[in-house]
Each structure stands twice: as C-alpha cells, then as structure tokens.
Amino acid sequence: MAISDYQLIEAWKEVLTLSKLERGQTVTILTSAGTHPQTLSCALIATQSMGAIVNRLDLPPINGEKGFSRDSLAYLGTTPLTGNQAAIAALKNSDLVLDLMTLLFSPEQHDILKSGTKILLAVEPPEVLVRLVPTLADRTRVLAATARIEKARQMHVHSGAGTDFTCPMGNFPAIAEYGFVDEPGRWDHWPSGFALTFPNDKTAHGKIVIDRGDILLPQKHYVSEPITLTVEGGYAVRIEGGTDAALLRDYMETFDDPEGYAISHIGWGLQPRARWSTLGLYDREATIGMDARAFEGNFLFSLGPNNEGGGDRTTTCHIDIPLRHCTVSLDNEVVVRDGRVLDANHA
C-alpha cells in the first residue's frame, strides 16, 4: 500500500532529528538513476523545512554491464564517485550526506567519513522506510550488543540444521547499525537494527548449513533445500547441496575472484519490527531486503570484503545470508538461542 508524501516527510524529519541535523548545516542528497523519486522529493522538503542548506548531487550509473543483478549491493567496488574529485569535495564539505544511490564498500565513502561528514544510506521503498523508522530504543539495544561483541574473542554458531561454525575475533571493531547518524563521521543505514563484526582474517572454520527458508541476498531467494558451506581458513571452500547450491556456485563463479568466498561480517538481527516473511511480498527489484538482514534473532553472515571493518580485502562479490533458528555464543555466553535474542531488555 502506498505511503503519502506527508507520512514520508514526517519520517524523514524524525530520522534527521535523531541524526542531529541543525539549522544552517549543509546537506547533500546523493542520487542516481535508481533513486526512488518519492524518497528524493520528500527528503528535499524535509531537509529544507528544517533549515538546512540543501544540494542535490546526481551522478550517472555505472557497472550495469558487469553486474548480474540490478540490486545496488550485487556488484561492489567502483562507484560514480571513483576518480570524481569534484563530487568528493562537495560531499566532504557537507555536514550530512543522504545517500540515495549506495556508496557502501567503496573507498570514497571511507574518505568522506574521515572528513567528519555523516552519511545516511536510504534506498529501500518508502513504505519500508516509514514502517522501520529508527528509535532511540533501537540505538540503546544495538549498542549494548556491540559492547558484548567488543569484549569477546570468539563467536560460535550452531543450529539444529547442522551449522557448527567458529569465528575467532577481536582484530576488527564491532559495528552498530541502528538507522541514524548522530556523531560526526558516522555511517548508518535506514532501515537497520543489527550488531556485527568481522572474524580475524583467515581464521573462521566449520560448517554452515543454509536451511530451508533461510535467505540469499542479493538473490532475494528463500532457500528450498539445504546448502552446506564448508569453511576452512576463513573461506568457503565447498558449497554443496542441490539446485540452490548450484545456483549459488554459478553466481559466485561469475566474479572470478577467490576473495568473494571469504567470510565477511558476522552478527545478529535486533529489529523486532522487521519481518522474515516480508521479502516474499515484494518484487525482487523493489527492495534490497533490509527486513531480511535485520529481523530479530537472525544470524547474519556474509561472504566477500572486509574493508568496511578496516580490513584490506576488497572484492566486487558480496552475499548476505540471514539464517533462522541459530544459537549464537560469544566466549561461551549465549546471546541468541534458537533464533531468540537474549539481552537485558528481551531475555
């Protein structure tokens, strides 16, 4: 069901207030061919109504001939900012960038953040944005989870489906995604609601079973038969199963990059308003699947780069895989039991 402009403008104003936008600050709205027109128009109205100095920077799309999906997260690496010093300078001179294009996993994004500019990514459909407007309670809960991750030196995941997976950690920081940017140099994604880190490089090991009903992204596909990943030395060295496994192998082979098989970020979902079932209600090109990434109690892991966590591994291949019904432990302390988050507020 459609969202009115009024609803979306109010949602933008709420998120911008949480992001501490002040009158007289400079906001640059970064757009490209895939930007949702209602999201853009309402962002322009909301930022101006709050007294910001507002610019729009529209850049042409790239990589369309390389990617096998139109999903903005299906092919990483170069962006319309690559080599575009004029555009980068404009963004560095902004207090806040509203990314309606997707710069994620790009070196340009890191460079811009180091200048103190805040970046908020918002590329989901308007109805998803309005349904999942972040709250201060989201922030509190996610920060509590990241504090637990920071203290831990090992994450272990197991499930009734057969997952038995261990990740030594501590070399990379814990990352909190709660949906707004309230500090200089912060990046976040509206909507979100999860805590994550990256395993120590080349150390993750064990078996991951992607069970029936678990989700592959950017395929935006509910798995219909189990896929078994054998992980050795931080890489998925075997992908076994039936047709779903064959499809995943074939897709990953298109990148011709062994780094695409590395275990990337690991963590769990903390957003009770996000739903596992929502992905089945959208056309595949209408969403990037943030409900799937954030729904409460998932174990979310990915394959591909670790440069978002400060590592040096880059690859154009990035696959997010949220699993249900897993038990996640940090240094033998259970934080998610069979898909149910255990924390002070939700134990």
Q: Are residues 222 and 78 in the same domain?
A: no
Q: Which band of pLDDT confidence, cut at 50, 70 and 90, is reported for residue 347?
A: very low
Place of tokens 């806040």: 96
Give tens-digit pLDDT for 154-192: 999 999 999 999 999 999 999 999 999 999 999 999 999
Q: Are residues 163 and 267 in the same domain?
A: yes
Q: Are residues 166 and 81 in the same domain?
A: no
Q: Kindly state whether residue 346 falls inside one of the protein's structural domains.
A: no
Give tens-digit pLDDT for 238-276: 999 999 999 999 999 999 999 999 999 999 999 999 999
Q: Domain residues for 170?
A: 136-341
- Of 116, 131, 146, the last residue of a domain is 131
Q: Would the pLDDT of 61 be above 70?
A: yes
**What would the two tokens of residue 269 be?**
């979902």
Q: Would the pLDDT of 346 be above 70?
A: no
- Under 8 Å between Cβ of 155 and 329: yes
Q: Are residues 174 and 270 in the same domain?
A: yes
Cα gap 66→27, rounded to integer Å: 31
Q: Kindly state whether residue 347 falls inside one of the protein's structural domains.
A: no
Q: Are residues 106 and 145 in the same domain?
A: no
Give tens-digit pLDDT for 283-325: 888 899 999 999 999 999 999 999 888 999 999 999 999 999 9
Per cent of the chain over pLDDT 70 is: 97
Q: What is the mean pLDDT of the chain?
A: 94
Give tens-digit pLDDT for 200-228: 999 999 999 999 999 999 999 999 999 99
Q: Would the pLDDT of 133 be above 80?
A: yes
φ, ψ of residue 266 in degrees (nearest 5): -135, 140
Domains identified in the chain, total number: 2
Place of tokens 């291949």: 317
* CA-based nearest residue to 165, from 66, 236, 59: 236
Q: Determine the pLDDT at residue 344.
A: 56
Q: Are residues 201 and 111 in the same domain?
A: no
Q: Would the pLDDT of 1 be above 60?
A: yes
